[in-house]
Amino acid sequence: MAWHDANAFQQGEGLDLNVIPAPEEVDASWCLRFLRAIRDVSFATIGADGLPSVRIIDVMMVTPERLYFLAPRGKAFHEDVVREGFVAIVGQTHDYRTCRLRGPVVHPEGEAEQRALVDAIFELNPSMNVIYPGDARYICDVFYVEEGEGEYFDLGQHPIFRKPFKLGGKAECERGTFLITDACIGCGTCAEKCPEQCIAPGEPYVIDQSHCLRCGICREACPAQAIVKR
């Protein structure tokens, strides 16, 4: 979808944060819309001193494949994004539904394209005109994320619900998942201890990743050290 297709930018509008999505509805595009609906989310970068920095940044617009944000050129956030070329983003609703995304950042080159994107963003987000009236808006550079890994996580359900997703060509995020290996002796201790009741008998026993809290209780309880963390 072309960046200059104004209709594409509307794709991120209209998601009702009060509606719990059906599991099959949650994919990368839906998660971008979810982050746009939250709008004020946390962006983590690595600062010039090599240490982490985190800031609340607006998700300014999304298409089914991209998440756009702004950074005024005078801010350290802009320097971090340009220098590192990578961000980690997380947003949460009042009822503990979270979405996180991390991936490389694209900085569209060319003044004409930048200005067109800034104009599109200010049209979608008119309150920005109060902060940056008139031509002051063009101190903002537009960036977007179109590739990365992420996860939707609902801590308000019991058992909890999580669903990883990939954006662009990136693989789905499996970091941090617990896996039961063939060393399992079938004692059932992990299933008894699991607070989410998401371990089923089998050879070996198996964890339903969509409901796993990733707390690690099962791994600590296993007498055969059969549970590993990926």
Cis amide prior to 204 (ω within 30 degrees)? yes
Q: How far apart are CA 92 and CA 27, in angstroms?
A: 17
Buried b / exposed e over 69-108, threshold 16 CB at 10 Å, is bbbeeeeebbebbeeeebbbbbbeeeeebbbbbbbebeee
In the complex, least distance from residue 96 CB atom to ligand SF4, rounded to whole angstroms:
16
Q: Which of residues 176-205 bind ligand SF4 (CB under 6 A)?
A: 178, 180, 184-190, 194-196, 198-199, 204-205
d(CA 149, CA 164): 8
- Contact call for residue 61 and ligand SF4 (CB under 6 A): no
- CB closer to ligand SF4, 38 vs 190: 190
Query: Residues 229, 85, 5, CA angle at the centre, nearest 5°?
Result: 105
Question: Please, which residue, 23 or 201, has the CB nearer to ligand SF4?
Answer: 201
Within 13 Å, how many C-alpha atoms sit on residue 77's CB side?
18
Cis peptide leading into residue 159 (ω within 30°): yes
Residue 99 interacts with ligand SF4 (CB under 6 A): yes or no: no
Which three-class secondary structure string do you get for 99-118? EEEEEECECCCCHHHHHHHH
Q: Does 213 bind ligand SF4 (CB under 6 A)?
A: yes
Q: Is 227 in the site for ligand SF4 (CB under 6 A)?
A: yes
Residue 23 in the binding site for ligand SF4 (CB under 6 A): no
Quick check: 210 binds ligand SF4 (CB under 6 A)? no
Question: Shortest distance, CB of residue 158 to ligand SF4, whole angstroms?
Answer: 11
Of the two residues 124 and 206, which places its CB atom closer to ligand SF4 in the complex?
A: 206
Tokens of 76: 């350290």
Residue number, 58 or 196, with CB nearest to ligand SF4: 196
- Binding test (CB under 6 A) with ligand SF4, winner from 20, 73, 216, 228: 216
Q: What's the min distance (Å) between Cβ of 201 and ligand SF4?
A: 8
Residue 10 or 197: the one with the smaller Cβ distance to ligand SF4 is 197
Residues that bind ligand SF4 (CB under 6 A): 178, 180, 184-190, 194-196, 198-199, 204-205, 207, 212-218, 221-222, 224, 226-227
